[in-house]
Amino acid sequence: MATEAAGEIKVGAKPTMHYVLATVIQFNQGIKRVHIKARGRAISKAVDAAQITVSRFLKDKVEIKDVKIGSEEVGEPGKTRTVSTIEIVLEQTEK
């Protein structure tokens, strides 16, 4: 069974529109599914990037397929902390 190619965008400190552009470019290159991932304070920026991509730039061509939330431990042993994570899966529609 062949796996379908999927793109990945990791959201960080850049402006939101950089991540929107990166997502649109991946879809224009033929990628069928893009995962937008973020953690901590970047979560709201990831949600904004996904919403802008779906509602403004690729209207009726892309939909939010899945949203996964979680947390992970980061830091050095003895000084770990828990950070929230999100993964938003965008997928092209079959139209």
Per-domain residue ranges of the chain: 6-92
Query: From CA 95, how far away is CA 76, in angstroms rounded?
Result: 48
* Chain-centroid distance, C-alpha 54: 12
Query: From CA 90, how far away is CA 46, in angstroms rounded?
Result: 12
Q: Which H or E element spans position 33?
A: strand 33-39
Say if residue 42's pLDDT is above 60. Answer: yes
CATH class, domain 6-92, is alpha beta
| Confidence at residue 65, expressed as pLDDT on a 0 to 100 scale | 95
pLDDT tier at 95 (50, 70, 90 boundaries)?
low
CA distances from 40 to 12, 16, 66, 81 (A): 9, 15, 19, 11
| pTM of the predicted structure, to 2 decimals | 0.87
